[in-house]
């Protein structure tokens, strides 16, 4: 038992000794540092961000009156011309009002025709017949009166007979006057003005009904492609509700949100490439059309809204889509480049640790065009080896064990 314990103790001591020897050996060796070579290549400065698609020209079709959707004549993605009918609302109530107003106008015009002729023919006939009879009776009464007067003058008749004959003449004249007044009363100025007023009301009602019928038809405000349309037959619309969004989609605007530090690298005319996660593998090309005039807050970002013109020949890049954008800011051909992670910043200087034999030397550099992975350096030559970040801080003149990256 004691022998076993002794052997275990010896093994543990041996392992500890080996570890201590390796530790001391490591302390005496320079640190291993990975180096990358400066290469000659074409490098492009890219501004990668996101954006939103907007139509170059757009129009909104809205309902002008309330009503249920009766007919749908278009669909999303369809090309339409300005003034083309998109949707028809139920106009049965307005059509019924129009028929009623038109019938009222016809009746009032017939009434006005009657008034212009002096009243209804039947009423006029009754009064005219009575007038003819009264005029005949007046003639007879006048003849009788004249005869009674002659007989009285010849002493062949009495005064009473003359007065009686005269009263008959007066009665006949009074009857004729009454009938003439009655005929005149068939049509009065008030009748004419009242009929005209009622005709105007009927015309106004017809115009309102026609306007409601016209407003039941929703038309395209511009020529273009319908990119927003979600109506179903039977849906109810209120006045002002959105019916369809129409725009020119062969070219679109993309509002690209560029972070404030990158805005200095963006200028009008720079090439832009758009991708959309909904259609992987597709790309749309264009250029910067307008740079921003102000900085806006977008969540935690301070951005400028850069407007880009993008070709959309298949019209499959839809307005309202959230897309990815890459702006090609600048390209330098045959440039010397190194990995961006090889650039160190210390004591207000930017530089690299350059490998010289088995030591590193600090070299101050000026960066040129850079992208997400590499940066242009003018102070180096092709093949120079620069240190990548290591666990141990580097110092000028420090000995290292180089590991060259392929």
pLDDT in tens, 62-110: 999 999 999 999 999 899 999 999 999 999 998 999 899 889 888 878 7
> CA-to-CA distance for 182 and 76, rounded, in angstroms?
72
Looking only at Cα atoms, what is the longest distance across the chain?
Answer: 198
- For residue 14, what pLDDT is reported? 58
- For residue 21, what pLDDT is reported? 45
pLDDT of residue 144 exceeding 90: no
Sign of the CA dihedral running 14, 17, 23, 28: negative
Residue 308 neighbours by CB distance under 10 Å: 26
pLDDT in tens, 309-361: 999 999 999 999 999 999 998 889 999 999 999 999 988 899 999 999 999 99
pLDDT of residue 154 exceeding 50: yes
**For the chain, what is the radius of gyration of the CA atoms?**
53
> CA-to-CA distance for 87 and 226, rounded, in angstroms?
13
pLDDT of residue 28 exceeding 70: no
> CA-to-CA distance for 195 and 215, rounded, in angstroms?
30
Residue 179 neighbours by CB distance under 10 Å: 20
Q: How many CA atoms lie within 13 A of 243 on its CB side?
A: 33
- For residue 25, what pLDDT is reported? 45
Kindly state the percentage of the chain with pLDDT values over 90. Answer: 55
Which domains, from first to last, does the chain contain? 29-44+334-404 (2.40.420.20), 47-56+248-333 (2.40.30.170), 59-81+219-246 (2.40.50.100), 95-212 (1.20.120)
- Asked if 142 and 132 count as a contact pair (C-beta separation under 8 A), the reply is no
Residue 40 neighbours by CB distance under 10 Å: 13
- For residue 1, what pLDDT is reported? 53
Mean pLDDT over 119-147 rounds to 75
Confidence of residue 307 (pLDDT cuts 50, 70, 90): very high
Mean pLDDT over 205-232 rounds to 92
Mean pLDDT over 389-403 rounds to 93
Q: How many CA atoms lie within 13 A of 357 on its CB side?
A: 4
- Asked if 85 and 193 count as a contact pair (C-beta separation under 8 A), the reply is no
pLDDT in tens, 243-277: 999 999 999 999 999 999 889 889 999 999 999 99
> CA-to-CA distance for 337 and 377, rounded, in angstroms?
6
């Amino acid at each position: 038992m004691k022998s076993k314990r002794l052997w275990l103790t010896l093994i543990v001591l041996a392992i500890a000794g080996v570890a201590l020897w390796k530790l001391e050996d490591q302390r005496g060796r320079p640190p291993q540092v990975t180096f990358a070579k400066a290469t000659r290549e074409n490098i492009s400065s890219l501004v990668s961000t996101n954006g939103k698609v907007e139509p170059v020209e757009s129009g909104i079709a809205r309902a002008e009156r309330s009503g249920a959707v009766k007919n749908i004549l278009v669909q999303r993605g369809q090309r339409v011309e300005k003034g083309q009918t998109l949707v028809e609302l139920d106009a049965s109530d307005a059509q019924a009002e129009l028929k009623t107003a038109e019938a009222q106008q016809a009746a009032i015009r017939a009434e006005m025709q009657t008034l212009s002729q002096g009243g209804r023919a039947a009423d006029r006939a009754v009064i005219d017949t009575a007038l003819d009879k009264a005029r005949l009776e007046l003639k007879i009464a006048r003849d009788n009166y004249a005869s009674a007067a002659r007989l009285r003058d010849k002493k062949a008749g009495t005064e009473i007979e003359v007065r009686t004959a005269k009263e008959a003449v007066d009665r006949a004249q009074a009857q004729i006057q009454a009938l003439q007044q009655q005929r005149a009363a068939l049509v009065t100025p008030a009748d004419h003005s009242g009929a005209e007023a009622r005709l105007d009301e009927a015309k106004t009602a017809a115009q309102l009904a026609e306007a409601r019928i016209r407003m039941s038809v929703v038309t395209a405000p511009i020529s273009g492609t319908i990119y927003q349309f979600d109506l179903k037959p039977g849906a109810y619309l209120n006045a002002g509700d959105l019916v369809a969004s129409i725009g020119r989609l062969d070219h679109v605007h993309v509002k690209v949100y560029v972070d404030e530090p990158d805005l200095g690298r963006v200028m009008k005319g720079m090439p832009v490439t758009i991708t959309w996660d909904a259609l992987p593998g597709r790309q749309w090309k264009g250029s910067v059309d307008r740079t921003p005039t102000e900085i806006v807050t977008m969540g935690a970002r301070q951005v400028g809204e850069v407007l880009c013109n993008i070709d959309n020949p298949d019209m499959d890049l839809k307005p309202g889509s959230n897309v990815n954008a890459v702006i090609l800011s600048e390209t330098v051909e045959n440039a010397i480049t190194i990995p961006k992670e090889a650039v160190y910043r210390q004591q207000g200087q930017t530089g690299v640790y350059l490998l010289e034999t088995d030591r590193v030397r600090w070299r101050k550099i000026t960066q040129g065009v850079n992208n997400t992975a590499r940066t242009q350096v003018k102070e180096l030559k092709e093949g120079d080896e620069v240190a990548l970040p290591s666990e141990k801080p580097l110092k000028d003149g420090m000995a290292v064990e180089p590991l060259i990256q392929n």
